[in-house]
Amino acid sequence: MEKLRKIDLWILIPYILLLGIGVVMVYSASFYNAMSTGGSSSQYLVKQGVFALFGLVFCFFFFMLKERVFKNKGLLGLLMLFLVILPLIGLLLFGKKINGASAWIPIGPFNYQPLEMAKMALILYLALVLTNKESKLLEKQSFKTLWKEIQVPILIVALVIFLVIIQPDFGGAAILSLITLILVSSSSIPGRFIVGLNSLLIVVLTSAITFILKVQPAAIVKKYQFQRFMAMLHPFKLEQTAGNQLVNSFYAISNGGLFGVGLGNSIQKRGYLPEPHTDFILAIISEELGLFGDIIVLGLLALIVFRIILLGMRTKNTYNSLVYYGVAVMLLAQIVLNVGGLLGLIPLTGVTLPFISYGGSSLLILSAAMGIVMNLEATELFNK
């Protein structure tokens, strides 16, 4: 119980508020879509409500775990193998295609998305490896000897990113790559080697993509992805085809103004945006709650991100700082890709808005991440 007194309210309260907003907005954004397909108007509300409750359970469970569980190398290895690598390989064989990408494995009435697990598993794995090798990394005097210390972890990470790329999911691959680059840059690797190592990672990934493009381009770049890129450049010229979703996103944001048209009163969710409760939920928030609603949602997300970054800057514990930075980057990257996509600043990637968009895998993993972050902070404070 003493540990609960150390819980970070700057993270917990915004997290709970976002869960509540997410459930309400998923219902508001989805009821027309659900009814038009012959379902109950509350079918997405019920599912998202269940996801939110389980998310709270996950958050509390991971908050109460002993810190040594996260540092168990064998357990992390099994997690990477059976919940990340093998499922990603399995997607190539029997993955469920949604919007052109094989990113989901159907499990009964639900869909498991290995990418979401990969994000958090990658953070914990790299944080542990880089911390355990801290003293050796500081001692190494050449890039060759440094590479010998970290080549296996880097190759494992490269494999995971490669498997995500060929789903194809460029948004997910970008997030994983960014997490890797930031954690490597924040580790104890001597500064003179960081640029070279990060450059090597970029070259390897770029070479892999280039090779696939030459050998089998259709395996990695689908027609819909090219159309998304063109829609970003010329949304109104392609309004009746590839630019339809983006243009309707613009209309939703424009309709909302400062204070919105009122909760439940969105026009664009009524058949204009095909899945308004997922990738485009912020556009519906803009339309129904206006700029005011956007500021609240993005403000709460920013509060969590900057609080976690602050924890990373304050702690003297290498492992904790790497986990903090990894989670912050994961959240920030998802926010930027989602918001940038619906504003037409970058191509649509299918990345959801953290805690708000409909979906179980993302919400449960993000909830676990919040529990882990608050756990590490509370444990550190308790041990002082």
Within its chain, how far is the Cα of 93 from the centroid? 24
3-state secondary structure of 106: strand
pLDDT value at residue 294: 96
DSSP state of 95: P
3-state secondary structure 341-362: HHCCCCCCCCCCCCCCCCCHHH
Q: Among positive and negative, which fits the CA dihedral 115, 369, 289, 338?
A: negative
Spans of the chain below 50 pLDDT: none
pLDDT value at residue 302: 98
Cα–Cα distance for residue pair 51/236, rounded to 1 Å: 37
pLDDT tens digits, 184-239: 888 777 666 666 666 766 776 676 666 655 655 555 555 556 566 666 666 777 66
Q: Is 93 exposed, middle or buried (0-12, 13-18, 19+ CB in 10 A)?
A: exposed
Cα–Cα distance for residue pair 86/269, rounded to 1 Å: 37
Ramachandran region of residue 264, left (φ > 0), alpha (ψ -120 to 50) or beta?
left
pLDDT tens digits, 157-168: 989 988 888 877
DSSP state of 265: -
Specify which residues 110 forms β-bridges with.
107
pTM tops 0.85: yes
